[in-house]
Structure 1
């Protein structure tokens, strides 16, 4: 699968906030975007999945209780009920009443706040291709004309393939917990420009090989400033963190 046209440089910031706000705001919310901008953070990572009605929303888990006051699975409920949920109260009472955001709302807010975005395609089981298609299509439309495009990423190869078909011009990154021995062939087959991997498992040798192959490298979820500095010395392009306040400094 061919890669998107190469960008003149890696336009995404060296530090991006994990799930919009990391540990500093309720995850995957518009409030998190606001907190990040107030901290001077230039970019965010967040997850997008589809509701039962096919609407892309910011959500990491397939189930609701961890981050909202709802019960059951995302796919068990229609949009009208999901919009009544509180996605902020689990983080802190000061965020009570924060709603689950639609993907289109997050796009608008990112552009208004001048935040670069790494959009993780997070499909519910069995909805990989459909989620990849919908997310990529909306991302292409929402960031049309933007200086810095969204970077689409996913653990799901089916979602990445569907995203490439729906929006071949958008850059993509392949998410993997550990970099496997055959990483180069997989990355080439998927047509990605970057590998995103767990910072705990990445080795200096792997980092050097990925960069030597002409790929970019992002890591998650790194919250230790000393280790972050080491990773940057290895050539890591972007560090995704729960503590953008510490890592940026």
Structure 2
């Protein structure tokens, strides 16, 4: 028991020493030296704790074995067994020079580890910002106009997203029975208005008589269904737009009409057209190569030669370091959706993605600001946590889905 307690005491003592040294290091004014020392002590303490963790099991096994034999001796039961061990493995005594060389070997090993840790700390301090990066250029994008700031896909939501400092707003466009374009996500209006009719079953006048219920905060006022023109006019000069061509009215006519409106309001640099249909992205890139496009997908896509468009909008399960790097190598930008938990926000705000789409805009902005104020030690811990998040999250490798250099056909579910 004393050995076990000593073992636990050593571990706790090491941790106390570590945190005591850490708080002193954080107060150092020399940035490079502080970072090198923090990395050195993290490596050293990790090695010490690992060492005692490894020898802890055999030590406790030894103690339990001794207790086992003592208990049975006290009960009057004796155990005896013999092991056949070759003489060459039996320790027959140790000369002083052997003990001296063993001590030298242990000391040399410890000194080598300290030297390696010093070197690693120094190199780590030189590339600290590259390894433990704080990406201040990640765009925070409001989901369905304003996320939880107002009723989804409402003009009020867009206005609040602008006020909250969103980089862009993602909206969904559908066509009415009489050929107008409105902002709406679902197949029908039932979930948001109670009316089970689709956009192409109603005229513009009929849709403008509907009221969108605020499902995020039910005591807020209902909002009217608005046109794409109203959204573009509000966004012009204030916020970027990700315009998804939505539903079964999403065809080449819709693409042409939306592009005409983008050109009409001179929003070419501020608007990106999104689609789940890869052929639609190919069509836009072929007919209007200057218009920014984004392919939104759940599962997979073809090789880099087949990748047309400017953005890849991927779900969290696909947003691994490897996939992000692969997309960037193809000259595309990566946006992750829908990033709604604090853990996910923290993870992707530390990653190499170009933007995140979220329902919780204010929370994401707060996390982004907090990350800019982190200490060096907090940045290291976030890096470790981010690496663990990627290890435990589902991995879908883009390269594993490439077959014969051609685009694969697959099916999507429509999230409503």
* Residue 169 (structure 1) aligned with residue 290 (structure 2): yes
Q: Does the residue aligned with 2:317 lie in a helix, a strand or coil? A: coil
Provide, for residues 23-79 of structure 1, a one-character-per-residue CA deviation record: whole Å limited to 9, x for no partner: 221111101012212322232111111111111110111211112242222111112
Take 2:229 and 2:303, find their aligned partners in 1: how far apart are those partners?
Answer: 33
Question: What's the counterpart of residue 6 of structure 2?
Answer: none
* Residue 85 (structure 1) aligned with residue 205 (structure 2): no
Question: What's the counterpart of residue 306 of structure 2?
Answer: 186
Question: What's the counterpart of residue 266 of structure 2?
Answer: 143
Take 2:140 and 2:157, find their aligned partners in 1: how far apart are those partners?
Answer: 15
Structure 1 pair 137/150, CA: closer, same or farther in 2 (3 Å)? same
Take 1:127 and 1:36, find their aligned partners in 2: how far apart are those partners?
Answer: 26
* Residue 95 (structure 1) aligned with residue 221 (structure 2): yes
Q: Does the residue aligned with 1:67 lie in a helix, a strand or coil? A: helix
Q: Match for 2:331 among 181, 203, 214?
A: 214
Take 1:104 and 1:213, find their aligned partners in 2: how far apart are those partners?
Answer: 33
* Greater helix share, structure number: 2
Q: Match for 1:35 among 160, 173, 176?
A: 160
Take 1:157 and 1:39, find their aligned partners in 2: how far apart are those partners?
Answer: 32
Provide, for residues 68-123 of structure 1, a one-character-per-residue CA deviation record: whole Å limited to 9, x for no partner: 24222211111221111112455534222x211100000011126x011111111x
Take 1:245 and 1:152, find their aligned partners in 2: how far apart are those partners?
Answer: 25
Indicate if the aligned counterparts of 1:121 and 1:159 stay in contact, CA closer than 8 A. Answer: no
Q: Taking CA–CA contacts closer than 8 Å with sequence separation of 6 or more, which of the two structures ends up with the larger relative contact order?
A: 1
Structure 1 position 224, deviation (Å): 2.3
Question: What's the counterpart of residue 242 of structure 1?
Answer: 359
The unaligned stretches of length 5 or more in structure 2 are: 1-136, 367-416
Take 1:247 and 1:89, find their aligned partners in 2: how far apart are those partners?
Answer: 21
Take 1:108 and 1:142, find their aligned partners in 2: how far apart are those partners?
Answer: 7
Structure 1 pair 212/158, CA: closer, same or farther in 2 (3 Å)? closer
Structure 1 pair 163/108, CA: closer, same or farther in 2 (3 Å)? same
TM-score, normalised with respect to structure 2? 0.51
Q: Which has the larger radius of gyration?
A: 2
TM-score, normalised with respect to structure 1? 0.83
Indicate if the aligned counterparts of 2:150 and 2:214 stay in contact, CA closer than 8 A. Answer: no
Question: What's the counterpart of residue 144 of structure 2?
Answer: 19
Take 1:162 and 1:152, find their aligned partners in 2: how far apart are those partners?
Answer: 12
Structure 1 position 183, deviation (Å): 4.6
Structure 1 pair 110/88, CA: closer, same or farther in 2 (3 Å)? farther
Q: Does the residue aligned with 2:192 lie in a helix, a strand or coil? A: coil
Take 1:34 and 1:126, find their aligned partners in 2: how far apart are those partners?
Answer: 27
Question: What's the counterpart of residue 133 of structure 1?
Answer: 256
Structure 1 pair 224/183, CA: closer, same or farther in 2 (3 Å)? farther
Indicate if the aligned counterparts of 1:121 and 1:154 stay in contact, CA closer than 8 A. Answer: yes
Structure 1 pair 149/13, CA: closer, same or farther in 2 (3 Å)? farther
Provide, for residues 193-217 of structure 1, a one-character-per-residue CA deviation record: whole Å limited to 9, x for no partner: 1111112332221111111222110
Structure 1 position 172, deviation (Å): 0.8
The unaligned stretches of length 5 or more in structure 1 are: 1-11
Take 1:179 and 1:203, find their aligned partners in 2: how far apart are those partners?
Answer: 13
Structure 1 position 19, deviation (Å): 0.4
Question: What's the counterpart of residue 118 of structure 1?
Answer: 242
Take 1:83 and 1:152, find their aligned partners in 2: how far apart are those partners?
Answer: 24
Structure 1 pair 161/209, CA: closer, same or farther in 2 (3 Å)? closer
Question: Number of paired residues?
Answer: 229
Take 1:135 and 1:161, find their aligned partners in 2: how far apart are those partners?
Answer: 16
Provide, for residues 142-196 of structure 1, a one-character-per-residue CA deviation record: whole Å limited to 9, x for no partner: 235x7x420111111233244335543111111111234x252431xxx311111
Structure 1 position 245, deviation (Å): 0.7
Q: Does the residue aligned with 2:335 lie in a helix, a strand or coil? A: strand
